[in-house]
Structure 1
Amino acid sequence: MSCYQSTYQTSIDNAEKFWEEVAKELYWDKPCTKVLDDRDKPFYRWFTGGELNICYNAVDRHVLAGHGEQTAIVYDSPVTNTKTYISYAQLKENVADLITDRDYDWDELTMKNKEIDCVQTVATDPLYILYTSGTTGQPKAGERTDPDTILWAEKHLNIPVIDHWWQTETSWAIVGNPLGIEKLPIKVGSSSKPIPGYLVKVLDDQGNIKPCGELGNLAIKLPLPPGTLVTLWKNKGRYYSSYLEKYPGYYLSGDSGLQDEDGYIFIMSRIDDVINTAGHRLLTKQIEEILCDHPDVAEAATFGIKDEVKGEIPLALVVCNAQTNLSK
């Protein structure tokens, strides 16, 4: 069994023990009393009773361990042609005491910065709030990397392109090539395999597992691993109806895809990007890829329009290459 497969299988077969061991890598002000709290299913919580400070774990402890001069962040902006290296010690020094609901000038604040102690927080407290799409706070689309884009990038950048699939809601990759564990062979068009902690299934509308190679709705077996969303801001009901209600015991990702015989996941589109034409499920992305294979086509967009007989039919808009002779 490969290193990846062994690690992944342990995270699925004994998730509680797996994450208990991972959590030992952090500094805890107070250890948890329960690793996985499942008293309010399907609303799971991790490390109940534990107390820690994420800033201390991310920065302070590395300085105290003698790694203060090690680079923590590389700021590389091709827009401003700026490249800056920020060490752990600099991060610790450049802190500011902020009051909520106000706008500040960061450079001005850090010039008069002062040492601020880390505050213990409960492990189940919210760490941050993220908008799921722009500033609307309403769940919408993640974006698929199509094979042509990957091949183009590899050719012109002359480096391997490592694809992955994640969502704002998960905060970290669901599927990817786990280079820190083992580099997996790359399959163009696939985000590779599920990351430890994520049991991904391809389901039909009734919740049955689809055979290998068949398109379906991507769902993740509960509980989600630590670090993922626990609710929507002030809207627990919508969190349940949007993600948990359709498939009991699963988190509905909102994306469609398939899994091949080697366990590789292929993300195809958002569930609502599938066009139902006379009982056939047509993927907008697949239609667009076929259109873009034509030498005269630069870009294409496909969407469904109502049809009295077939329910929906696809309508495609294309942008031709500049060299295209439109008189043909």
Structure 2
Amino acid sequence: MEKIMYDREFNRSIKDPENFWMEQAANISWFQKPQRALTKDENGFYRWFKGGKLNTSYLALDAHIENGRGEEIAFIYDSPVTQTIEKITYLDLRDRVSRLAGGMKRLGIEKGDTVIIYMPMIPQAVISMLACARLGAIHSVVFGGFAPHELAIRIDDAKPKLIITATSGIEVDRIIPYKPMVDEAIGLAAHKPEHVIVYNRRLGAARPDGENDIDYSTLMKIADPVRCTEVDATDPLYILYTSGTTGKPKGIIRDNGGHAVAMYYSMKNVYGINPREVFWAASDVGWVVGHSYIVYASLIYGCTTVLFEGKPVRTPDASTFWRVVSDHNVKVMFTAPTAIRAIKKEDPQGSFIGQFDMSGLRYLFLAGERCDVSTLKWAEGKLKVPVIDHWWQTESGWPIVANMMGFKEHFKVKPGSATKPVCGYDVQILRADGTAADKGEEGYVAIKLPLPPGTLPNLWGDTNRFVKGYLDKFDGYYFSGDGGYLDEDGYVFITGRVDDIINVAGHRLSTAEMEEVVAKHPDVAECCVVGIEDDLKGQIPLAITVLKADADIESFQLQAEVVADVRKEIGPVASLKKVLVAERLPKTRSGKILRKVIRAIADGKPYTTPSTIDDPVILQEIHDLFEEQMVGSFEQKAKQSS
């Protein structure tokens, strides 16, 4: 089939969403087809495919088996930390999923019940998600290893009837016992789940038994497999919690119908992959990327998906990603820029890449953290394939802005831009008063309603927060929380969260723009720039860098060179004077740098350690670095004491 043109399809999706998305809905198997694409619910919120009946687990598994693909590989489990590789067919996966669903049904789980999944990156995590979908139960995957307090907050919000967990996760150098953390979380929570299913990994972790505990393997032996439960397109598939400004996490709801249509559409048109090819999203099932592109999109579309339990480095080294691509003939890969920066730091010359057969790799997609130009160029140069920076959010569930590789024309890559809006997303840049910004003028990134299928219809149990957080700022628009601009060619440039714009002596400056300059320095592996308080100018920028493994430069020389670069490319108004060298940057487990927390430490303000932080010890390291270098509030305290 001849590929279609972007402009024609995009314009159709915006001007006639009803017919456009009804056409896309025909690509999936419905138990009862919807009569309309777009309606509104009792709150006045847009809903997709109301009246349609389906089951997401059926689309991911049974539909392929009925089409004669039962013996083909559905997913590959690759775990360098346990030195395990397992290839699972659609038939095998369907049988395991239907049996676990049968076991859950014996425990009283029904359509509409909620289930929390607190698991490492193992096949049982994917099986648990699909088993919930099979029953019409709503799953909420909580990233394995989250602190008991944070898990307790999610238990009280989701009110699960059941928790599914494993005895442990495994990191590079340690075993993380999960079951004691689950028990502590249940003890802290006001809501008490009726049962806890525990999968025993036999890695030696502590496994305290509770009176309501059920052994996963025993349950699988006694359970009878079950067929798929018919659900409405607008019924929730899952809840995924994302951090909120109030400290209480927001429960993003994903529906069944719109989600399935969007997942299928994105695999074909955004990622440019074909059914039966291998797709690898190097993420975690605890994040939206894992939900969308490790589990649901890949399986619904009929790709073989890779479930990877490891890190980009130290499992065993910076060659791991390339080994996985080579071993499993990955055609399209998706990861975070942070992962590529970690590999680049350990192997600046990319020497490991040449040790593997990478000829099958067609594209590398990057998202999760804004991709700096130097990382993009490094990956392009070393991999010799198109590297596609694209932008989306937990709330959207699939890409908002991308170079759509399934279309006939591929746009020229402009480093720093995620290219153009994906079909269905009417992305606009607005001024504070709601008027449209000029081309090249930075403003607020908003999306004209209706949002396309697959995006959040509401927040779990908190409609007021949904309206206040996303819909109130601009009437008729979804507000993304990000700043950005459109260039003359219609390319979208995301400059970062709106609170990452700093005011230096009355000049509004983007810290993202400064980061681009700092990241270009040949000795810098990664960096961040934050605005800290200053008595004279209101705010001034501070750069924190992590150097490449082979870097040989003194910190004072680095500072002089970076300051000169920023002055040359942005101008003296930027007022960047301080450049620090750190061993590492504080990040979430999905790779986002915790700029807000860094600012708070520098300004001497209280902050809450985010539940999503990868390693809390790094915050103390940053505190000590600021104190040693007399940064921000530490400098003020020194002046006061003298």
Using the size of structure 1 for normalisation, the TM-score is 0.89
- Where in structure 2 are the equivalents of 1:40-119 lying within 5 Å? 40=42, 43-95=45-97, 96-97=100-101, 98=104, 99=109, 100=115, 101-103=162-164, 104-105=197-198, 108=217, 109-110=219-220, 114-119=224-229
Judge which range, 73-82 or 122-131, deviates more: 73-82
Q: 1:116 to 1:293 in 2, by over 3 A?
A: same
Distance in 2 (alpha carbons) for counterparts of 1:34 and 1:63: 29
1:270 corresponds in structure 2 to 497
Cα deviation, residue 91, structure 1: 1.9
1:241 corresponds in structure 2 to 468
Q: 1:153 to 1:84 in 2, by over 3 A?
A: farther
- Where in structure 2 are the equivalents of 1:306-321 lying within 5 Å? 306-319=533-546
Cα deviation, residue 9, structure 1: 1.1
C-alpha deviations, 1:8-50, integer Å up to 9, x for none?
1111110011111111222222233442113657511111222
Judge which range, 285-294 or 313-322, deviates more: 313-322
- Give SS of 1:317's match: strand
Q: 1:2 to 1:18 in 2, by over 3 A?
A: closer
Cα deviation, residue 327, structure 1: 6.5
**Aligned residue pairs, count:** 327
C-alpha deviations, 1:125-169, integer Å up to 9, x for none?
111101124996249x95211111111222333433222111111
Letter in 1 for 2:553: T
Query: Is 1:126 paired with 2:352?
Result: no
Cα deviation, residue 225, structure 1: 0.8
Judge which range, 301-310 or 236-245, deviates more: 301-310
1:36 corresponds in structure 2 to 38
1:324 corresponds in structure 2 to 553
Q: 1:196 to 1:172 in 2, by over 3 A?
A: same
Q: 1:295 to 1:266 in 2, by over 3 A?
A: same
Q: Do the aligned residues in 1 keep the contact of 2:373 with 2:520 (CA within 8 Å)?
A: no
Distance in 2 (alpha carbons) for counterparts of 1:80 and 1:209: 53
Distance in 2 (alpha carbons) for counterparts of 1:138 and 1:203: 25
Cα deviation, residue 69, structure 1: 2.3
- Give SS of 1:266's match: strand
Q: 1:149 to 1:204 in 2, by over 3 A?
A: same
Letter in 2 for 1:102: I
Letter in 2 for 1:90: D
Q: Do the aligned residues in 2 keep the contact of 1:256 with 1:268 (CA within 8 Å)?
A: yes
C-alpha deviations, 1:277-315, integer Å up to 9, x for none?
233221112112222333454443322223455433323
Judge which range, 38-47 or 212-221, deviates more: 38-47
Judge which range, 41-50 or 265-274, deviates more: 41-50
Q: Do the aligned residues in 2 keep the contact of 1:166 with 1:173 (CA within 8 Å)?
A: yes
Distance in 2 (alpha carbons) for counterparts of 1:273 and 1:142: 16
- Where in structure 2 are the equivalents of 1:270-309 lying within 5 Å? 270-309=497-536
Cα deviation, residue 267, structure 1: 1.7
Unaligned runs of 5+ in 1: none
2:374 corresponds in structure 1 to 148
Judge which range, 130-139 or 161-170, deviates more: 130-139
- Give SS of 1:301's match: strand
Q: 1:176 to 1:82 in 2, by over 3 A?
A: farther
Letter in 2 for 1:200: V
Query: Is 1:137 paired with 2:366?
Result: no
Q: Do the aligned residues in 2 keep the contact of 1:275 with 1:304 (CA within 8 Å)?
A: yes
- Give SS of 1:167's match: coil
Judge which range, 78-87 or 143-152, deviates more: 78-87
Cα deviation, residue 68, structure 1: 1.5
Q: Do the aligned residues in 2 keep the contact of 1:177 with 1:183 (CA within 8 Å)?
A: no
C-alpha deviations, 1:251-270, integer Å up to 9, x for none?
11111122222222122211
Letter in 2 for 1:245: D
Distance in 2 (alpha carbons) for counterparts of 1:92 and 1:284: 48
Q: 1:2 to 1:69 in 2, by over 3 A?
A: closer
1:16 corresponds in structure 2 to 18
Distance in 2 (alpha carbons) for counterparts of 1:162 and 1:142: 12
Residue in structure 2 matching 1:182, options 396, 402, 408: 408
Using the size of structure 2 for normalisation, the TM-score is 0.47
2:383 corresponds in structure 1 to 157
1:204 corresponds in structure 2 to 431
Unaligned runs of 5+ in 2: 110-114, 116-161, 165-196, 200-215, 252-366, 558-642
Residue in structure 2 matching 1:195, options 422, 428, 431: 422
- Where in structure 2 are the equivalents of 1:207-246 lying within 5 Å? 207-246=434-473
Instruction: Could you list the structure 1 runs, at least 4 aligned residues long, displaced by more than 6 angstroms after superposition.
Output: none
Q: Larger helix proportion, structure 1 or 2?
A: 2
Cα deviation, residue 214, structure 1: 2.2
- Give SS of 2:493's match: strand
Distance in 1 (alpha carbons) for counterparts of 2:250 and 2:468: 13
Letter in 1 for 2:163: R
Q: 1:205 to 1:116 in 2, by over 3 A?
A: same
1:250 corresponds in structure 2 to 477
Cα deviation, residue 320, structure 1: 5.2
Cα deviation, residue 228, structure 1: 0.8
Distance in 1 (alpha carbons) for counterparts of 2:419 and 2:223: 44
RMSD of aligned alpha carbons:
2.7
Distance in 2 (alpha carbons) for counterparts of 1:197 and 1:79: 40
Judge which range, 51-60 or 66-75, deviates more: 66-75
- Give SS of 1:212's match: coil
Judge which range, 260-269 or 315-324, deviates more: 315-324
